[in-house]
Amino acid sequence: MAIVKINAIAVPPEHAEELERRFRMRAGVVEESPGFLGFQLLRPVKGEDRYFVVTQWEDEESYAGWRDGAARATHKGEHGPSVLATADLLEFDVLLDVRPGGENAPRLNPL
């Protein structure tokens, strides 16, 4: 069953541009990780003031392999001081995955 990890990141307004720049600089780092299915960086617009870093993985083991390997090396502070105020990890199983087109029609993962 696929899983989703969402880092909900509070960033002081004066650091928002720097956070976005850092993510743009790291684009491409996670794509080659085994079990990686997708990534999105969501900027708050209305009703929320946190950024959401959304990743999709084939399974928990794939996420843990990335988290304990490439992610740890990437987050060691080589980009300068932290711009985060807080970060919370939200975790989900993918129950329903709807995509456009024929064979990618809605799939319901078993409960």
Q: Does domain 3-93 have CATH number 3.30.70.100?
A: yes
Domain spans of the chain, in order of start: 3-93
Mean pLDDT of 10-29: 89
Tell me, what's the pLDDT at 85?
Answer: 79
Residue with tokens 């060691």: 76
Mean pLDDT of 36-46: 94
How sure is the predictor about 84, in pLDDT bands with cuts at 50, 70 and 90? confident
Provide the sign of the torsion angle of the four alpha carbons 101, 40, 33, 109, taken in this order. Answer: negative
Q: Say whether pLDDT at 8 is over 60.
A: yes
**Separation CA 23–CA 45 (nearest Å):** 18
From CA 16, how far away is CA 24, in angstroms rounded? 13
pTM of the entire predicted model? 0.79
